[in-house]
């Protein structure tokens, strides 16, 4: 266990200022597993005080030659404040310095949605919890888009064609197919895949795109504390289609939800959506089509991320690749009723894990 004086000097000073009148020997430091993040987290505790999370986010600050003028850390702080002002459940920010390279947050404990499912399985209580999360998600998508400033976003404020192409579809090819699976794709196959990707892009950009999009709304980013759901890791948020976050939650490969329950929760969300949007709500066939489309896109992005992380020696992500591939096969088959995805289907047959 590291001592407080072994932490970065600036973070050390933040911690000492927070735990007033405490000797260094009375402050305990426990490193936390960062999962896929480059940020370094510590739980800081001292008798008589609530514990806090100290974040060393220096590695995710504004880099040289980055096209953005705002860092990932600044984005997190700005969106956190926006959500807090709207009374959405986000961790409290206690202090921050150095362009938000270091900051202290409320400690939400270790009980994520992911951990909850591992403990209690797909019980009636779990299903009720998911229903409450879907209500929270829909409110977030509709309410948080108001007064949302796209200039807050370090990687672009809109879920647009370029982002989908480069950071989801091509990310899958580069980081997963080539980088992780080590499959060589010749020029002819690449050309056919890009044509099919353009078909997907044409369809995806036809969905309503002016909602708050969390972009990583899944079981490890939802915390439960005192019977309340909290949101974390929302620095990738922007404006986009509501289908994406719904697809991310329901098709989350970390928990591999049973297929009948996926359909049940999809319908539950659709009924809530209709009551919120009234005349702006889609027909059920349109909703199902776009849900499948964004399930495919989200799964491609997820596999790209898993491939990238495993090749960086974060080996625990390897366990989630097969559930994600199962999702990809399913939604590729579903969408083949609407689009020619034969080259993508043929490529998937070459992936043997």
Q: What is the mean pLDDT of residues 61-75?
A: 71
In angstroms, the CA 305 to CA 311 distance is: 10
Average pLDDT value over all residues in the chain: 93
The share of the chain scoring above pLDDT 70, in percent, equals 95
Question: Distance between CA atoms of 6 and 4, rounded to whole angstroms?
Answer: 5
Same domain, 8 and 63: yes
Residues 135 and 82 in one domain: no
- CA 130, CA 123: separation in Å to the nearest integer? 11
Whether the predicted pLDDT of 99 surpasses 90: no
pLDDT-derived band at 101, boundaries 50, 70, 90: very high
CA 60 to chain centroid: 16
Do residues 218 and 82 both lie within one domain? no
pLDDT > 80? residue 196: yes
Please indicate, yes or no, whether residues 184 and 306 belong to a single structural domain of this protein: yes
Q: What end-to-end distance do the CA atoms of the chain give, in Å?
A: 37
pLDDT of residue 22: 62
Q: Looking at the structure, tell me whether residues 135 and 50 fall in a common domain.
A: no
Taking each continuous run of H as one helix and of E as one strand, the counts in the chain are 12, 9
- d(Cα 274, Cα 280) in Å, to the nearest integer? 8
Measured distance CA(222)–CA(90) in Å, rounded: 10
In order, the DSSP letters of 72-112 are HHHHHHHHHHHHHHTT---PPEEEEETTTTEEEEE---S-B
Q: Is the pLDDT of residue 285 over 90?
A: yes
CA-CA distance, 134 to 152, in Å (whole number)? 25
Rounded mean pLDDT, 18-47: 84
Residues 183 and 46 reside in one and the same domain: no
pTM of the shown model = 0.94
Is 168 found in the same domain as 137?
Answer: yes
- Structure confidence at residue 172 as a pLDDT band (50, 70, 90): very high
Measured CA to CA in angstroms, residue 259 lies from 16, 60, 327 at distances of: 49, 37, 10
Domain end (from 74, 106, 138) = 106
Q: What is the predicted pLDDT for the residue at 49?
A: 87
Check residue 21 and give its pLDDT: 61
Q: Which two tokens stand for residue 120?
A: 């209690």
Q: In this model, does residue 241 exceed pLDDT 80?
A: yes
Q: Is residue 181 within 8 Å of 328, Cβ to Cβ?
A: no
Q: Given this model, what pLDDT does residue 10 score?
A: 92
279 and 345 together in one domain: yes
DSSP 152: G
Of 82, 106, 130, at which residue does a domain stop?
Answer: 106
The model's confidence at residue 344, banded by pLDDT at 50, 70 and 90, is very high
Judge whether residue 65 has pLDDT over 60.
no
pLDDT of residue 63: 52
Average of per-residue pLDDT across 95-109 = 93
Q: Compute CA distances 287 → 69, 267, 275, 300, whole Å.
A: 37, 10, 14, 20
Q: What integer is the mean pLDDT of 230-254?
A: 98
User: What gap in Å lies between CA 337 and CA 209, rounded to an integer?
Assistant: 24
User: Which pLDDT belongs to residue 280?
Assistant: 83
Same domain, 289 and 181: yes
| Beta carbons of 344 and 193 less than 8 angstroms apart | yes
CA angle 172, 114, 35 (to 5 degrees): 55
Domain that holds residue 294: 113-349
223's enclosing H/E stretch is strand 222-225
What does the alpha-carbon distance between residue 234 and residue 216 come to, in Å, rounded to a whole number? 7
pLDDT at 338 over 90: yes
User: Mean pLDDT throughout 246-258?
Assistant: 98
Q: Is residue 69's pLDDT more than 90?
A: no
Give residue 248's pLDDT: 98
The stretch 137-161 carries a mean pLDDT of 96
Question: Alpha helices, DSSP H only, in 148-258?
Answer: 161-164, 170-171, 187-204, 242-250
Mean pLDDT in residue range 176-182 = 97
227's CB contacts (< 8 A; 6+ apart) are: none
CATH of the domain at 266: 3.90.1200.10
Distance from CA of residue 267 to its chain's centroid?
22
Crossing angle between the packed helical segments 321-335 and 342-349, to the nearest 10 degrees: 150
Of 22-26, 136-140, 227-231, the range with the lowest mean pLDDT is 22-26
The last residue of a domain, from among 83, 106, 129: 106
Counted domains in the chain? 2
What pLDDT is recorded for position 67? 53
Is the confidence at residue 24, as pLDDT, over 70?
no
**Residue 263 binned pLDDT confidence (cut-offs 50, 70, 90):** very high
% of the chain beyond a pLDDT of 90: 83
Shortest CA distance to 83 belongs to which of 6, 146, 175, 172? Answer: 146
**What pLDDT does residue 64 have?**
53
* Same domain? 21 vs 143: no
Shared-domain flag, residues 180 and 219 = yes
Are 78 and 9 members of one domain? Answer: yes
pLDDT band for 252, please (50, 70, 90 cuts). very high
Q: Name the residue among 45, 52, 33, 29 with its Cα closest to residue 104.
A: 52
The residue with tokens 């370029």 is: 162
Specify the CATH number for the domain of residue 78: 3.30.200.20
């Amino acid at each position: 266990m590291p001592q407080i004086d072994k932490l970065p000097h600036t973070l050390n000073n933040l911690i000492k200022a927070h735990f007033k009148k405490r000797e260094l020997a009375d402050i305990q430091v426990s490193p936390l597993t960062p999962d896929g993040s480059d940020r370094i987290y510590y739980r800081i505790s001292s008798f008589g005080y609530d514990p806090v999370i100290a974040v060393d986010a220096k590695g995710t600050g504004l880099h040289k030659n980055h096209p953005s003028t705002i860092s990932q850390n600044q984005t997190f702080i700005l969106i956190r404040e926006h959500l807090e002002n709207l009374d959405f459940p986000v961790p409290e920010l206690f202090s921050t310095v150095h362009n938000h390279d270091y900051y202290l947050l409320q400690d939400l404990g270790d009980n994520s949605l992911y951990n909850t499912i591992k403990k209690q399985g797909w019980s009636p209580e779990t299903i009720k919890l998911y229903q409450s999360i879907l209500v929270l998600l829909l409110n977030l998508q509709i309410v948080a888009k108001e007064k949302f400033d796209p200039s807050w976003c370090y990687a672009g404020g809109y879920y647009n064609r370029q982002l989908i192409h480069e950071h989801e579809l091509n990310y899958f090819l580069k980081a997963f197919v080539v980088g992780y699976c080590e499959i060589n794709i010749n020029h002819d196959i690449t050309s056919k895949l890009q044509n099919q990707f353009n078909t997907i892009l044409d369809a995806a950009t036809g969905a309503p795109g002016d909602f708050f999009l969390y972009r990583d709304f899944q079981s490890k980013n939802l915390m439960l504390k005192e019977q309340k759901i909290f949101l974390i890791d929302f620095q990738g948020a922007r404006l986009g289609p509501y289908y994406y976050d719904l697809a991310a939650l329901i098709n989350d490969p970390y928990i591999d939800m049973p297929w009948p329950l996926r359909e049940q929760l999809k319908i539950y969300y659709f009924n809530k959506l209709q009551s919120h949007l009234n005349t702006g709500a889609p027909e059920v066939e349109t909703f199902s089509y776009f849900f499948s489309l964004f399930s495919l896109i989200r799964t491609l992005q997820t596999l790209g991320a898993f491939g990238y992380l495993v090749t960086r020696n974060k080996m625990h992500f390897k366990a989630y690749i097969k559930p994600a591939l199962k999702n990809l096969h399913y939604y590729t088959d579903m969408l083949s009723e609407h689009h020619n995805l034969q080259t993508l289907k043929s490529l998937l047959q070459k992936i043997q894990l």
